[in-house]
Chain A
Amino acid sequence: MIKALIEKLLTPKKGTFGVAANFESVEGILSAVMRARAEGYTKLETYTPFPIHGMDEALGNPPSVLGYIVICIGLCGTATAIALTYWVGTIAYPLVIGGKPLWAIEYTLPIIFELTILFSAFASVLGMLHLNRLPQFYHALFNYSGFSKISDDAFVLVIESQDPKFNAERAKQFLNSIGGHVVEVVEE
């Protein structure tokens, strides 16, 4: 079963992924994104060697929902800890120690705090991975000839084929017209 899953993950999908172009600088790719958006393209993605300030706004990406995931799971951690300490302290092992109440916020708060933090930490990391669709063993952009330069000095903009306005020829022309280099149709 695992073998089948890995094979499925490694088998490329068929079809066109999109049209990619290299813009060679931070300013270049930011203005390319804005001009592509002005042209009416909505399914855009950029691939750059480092995070670029203002790119989220330029792409029109909504703010990340990660914070909401973390607070929900974190509060689940709080609830779990309260339930756990209450069950252990009053039902499973109702022992009076040092004349203290069976359950009290004073001695359970460290546990409540720690479980909240633990759940939140897991939610942050796993939530981040999920929202980024990671880990990913195969990506269509591997087929782009300038791919290896993306971790060096390439600033690549992709107009994806899922864009309602997508037409490979016109997208190529457009990316060429706004100064893109190595403009290529990338297959899945």
Chain B
Amino acid sequence: MAHDHPHDTPVDSFRIPAGTWTHVRNVLAALALVGWAACLAGYLQNQDQFARSYLVAFLATIFMALGGMLFVMIQHLTNSVWSVTVRRLMESLMMSLPVGAVLFIPIALNTHSLYEWVHPEVANHFSATKAAYLSERGFILRAFICFFIWTLLSWRLWSISRQQDHSGAASLCYSAAKVSAPGVFFLFLSATLAAFDWNMSINPHWYSTIYGVYCLTGGAWAFFAILIWICLRLRANGILTNSITPEHYHDLGKWQFALTAFWAYIAFSQYMLIWYANLPEETIYYKVRLEGSWQFLTKALPLIHFIFPFFLLIARPIKRNLSVLGFVAAYVLIVHYLDVYWMIMPNYFKSGIQFHWLDLASVVAVVGTFGFFFWQRLKDAPIVPEGDPRLAKSLRFHNV
């Protein structure tokens, strides 16, 4: 068809207009400041509640950024063409990871509100190996290792991509792939380590090998939602309207769909094995989540996290319908938060769901901060990797 030809494709500006940029930056900075002020007020009132709400908000966003890094690496490893127009946005989301090291500080300072294993009367019951692993010094050291790996990988991938903006050298695609191959390996290992330390050790007696994959899958699921949402917001403001076409949204929707199914696969695998083995120290995870009002969330999760988005996204026209996709993006982000909330909070509030205003305040603080630094990256850099030799093909990309 006529619009298959490159000369018919109107070219967008790959820069965000200065006025728009400043406006969004101010909004994000204001959000972050209001959020942090509220968090500070909440912290002075109720230290435990702040630490717990903050942990949920932090984990919900950091695993999203990890999902972002995973998919930047997968694009490089598969030499993917379709995603080139959205890769810079993926990369700037990935670059939230170094910021995460700073946002981790409130957790490191509040371990006594979050992790019962810091208290000696609990730790005394552990086996020698578990007691050695669950020490505060080890916790900080492992967090440091994780952030070191993530900063190193994300920084390297970002600088390769930025170099290519200027040089346009095809060889840099291979450099990025070379970083990505061991990168995926280390990402999965470190994400598992982080999930074990930050989420799983809240209940130090319980264990699940698949937990890291569960957290990373949920994060990647939400990552595609935020990516679609950002693309749609840019589009609504007349940015990249010709570069991110319904063809690209269709593929983003396919990933959203695929990860919906993958999350269900992982979540069910974890549940089924625990159900089958029926060991008290394992089943406790689901037992506490089937008590009080938690049971409603537990029973709703398969429906809202899998069945509904799965059947909503299965049809091709839906994935190409930008208003439905916008709805799905917002919906996924809310459900992702609930999923993380469901992982963390039942450990503290046994009787049932207890939402607190600090939950919202810490989400605003964390998302505002991550968003601020995400947006900062897009000030000078083009918002599409304009030096990538595959870009022209990506702009003309069509689903068969």
A10 proximal to B (CB < 8 A): no
A36 to chain B, nearest CB (A): 15
Find chain A residues with CB under 8 A from B271 CB.
Answer: 106
Q: CA of A54 to CA of B400 in the docked complex: distance in angstroms? A: 8
B181 to chain A, nearest CB (A): 29
Flag the segment in B129-137, B151-159, B272-280, B292-300 that touches A. B272-280
Give A30's nearest chain B residue, CB to CB.
Answer: B1
Q: CA of A98 to CA of B278 in the docked complex: distance in angstroms? A: 9
Which residues of A (49-87) have their CB < 8 Å from a CB of B? 51, 53-54, 57-58, 63, 67, 71
Which residues of B (301-360) have their CB < 8 Å from a CB of A? 314-316
Among candidates A54, A67, A71, A109, residue contacting B4 with C-beta atoms closer than 8 Å? A54
Find chain B residues with CB under 8 A from A58 CB.
Answer: 1
Asked if residues B398 and A109 are in contact (CB atoms below 8 Å), the reply is no
A39 to chain B, nearest CB (A): 18
Which residues of B (378-399) have their CB < 8 Å from a CB of A? 398
Find chain A residues with CB under 8 A from B316 CB.
Answer: 63, 67
With A30-B1, A67-B316, A98-B278 already in contact, the answer to whether A54 and B272 are too (CB < 8 A) is no
Find chain A residues with CB under 8 A from B400 CB.
Answer: 51, 53
A119 to chain B, nearest CB (A): 16
Could you say which of A99, A106, A107, A110 has the most chain B C-beta atoms within 10 Å of its C-beta? A106
| Contact code string A76-106 (vs B, CB < 8 Å = 1, else 0) | 0000000000000000000000111000001
Asked if residues B398 and A53 are in contact (CB atoms below 8 Å), the reply is yes
Among candidates B4, B272, B314, residue contacting A106 with C-beta atoms closer than 8 Å? B272
Give the A interface residue count (CB, 8 A): 16
Among candidates A54, A63, A99, A107, residue contacting B398 with C-beta atoms closer than 8 Å? A54
Find chain B residues with CB under 8 A from A63 CB.
Answer: 316
With A106-B271, A109-B268 already in contact, the answer to whether A54 and B1 are too (CB < 8 A) is yes
Among candidates A57, A99, A109, residue contacting B1 with C-beta atoms closer than 8 Å? A57
Interface residues on chain B, size class: 10 to 19
Find chain A residues with CB under 8 A from B315 CB.
Answer: 67
B273 to chain A, nearest CB (A): 10
B5 to chain A, nearest CB (A): 8
Q: CA of A54 to CA of B2 in the docked complex: distance in angstroms? A: 9
Find chain B residues with CB under 8 A from A71 CB.
Answer: 314
Find chain B residues with CB under 8 A from A99 CB.
Answer: 278
Find chain B residues with CB under 8 A from A100 CB.
Answer: 276
Asked if residues A53 and B4 are in contact (CB atoms below 8 Å), the reply is yes
Q: CA of A9 to CA of B197 in the docked complex: distance in angstroms? A: 67
Give B274's nearest chain A residue, CB to CB.
Answer: A106
Asked if residues B1 and A107 are in contact (CB atoms below 8 Å), the reply is no
A109 to chain B, nearest CB (A): 6
Find chain A residues with CB under 8 A from B276 CB.
Answer: 98, 100, 106-107
B265 to chain A, nearest CB (A): 8
A123 to chain B, nearest CB (A): 15
Q: CA of A114 to CA of B271 in the docked complex: distance in angstroms? A: 18
Asked if residues A110 and B272 are in contact (CB atoms below 8 Å), the reply is yes
A95 to chain B, nearest CB (A): 15
A-B contacts besides A54-B1, A100-B276, A109-B272, 13 pairs, CB < 8 Å: A30-B1, A51-B400, A53-B4, A54-B398, A57-B1, A58-B1, A63-B316, A67-B315, A99-B278, A106-B276, A107-B272, A107-B275, A107-B276
Give me 24 A-to-B residue pairs in the complex whose CB atoms sit less than 8 angstroms apart, sorted by A's number.
Answer: A30-B1, A51-B400, A53-B1, A53-B398, A53-B400, A54-B1, A54-B4, A54-B398, A57-B1, A58-B1, A63-B316, A67-B315, A67-B316, A71-B314, A98-B276, A98-B278, A100-B276, A106-B271, A106-B272, A106-B275, A106-B276, A107-B275, A107-B276, A109-B272
Q: Which 5 A-B pairs have the closest CB atoms?
A: A54-B1, A106-B275, A53-B398, A106-B272, A54-B4
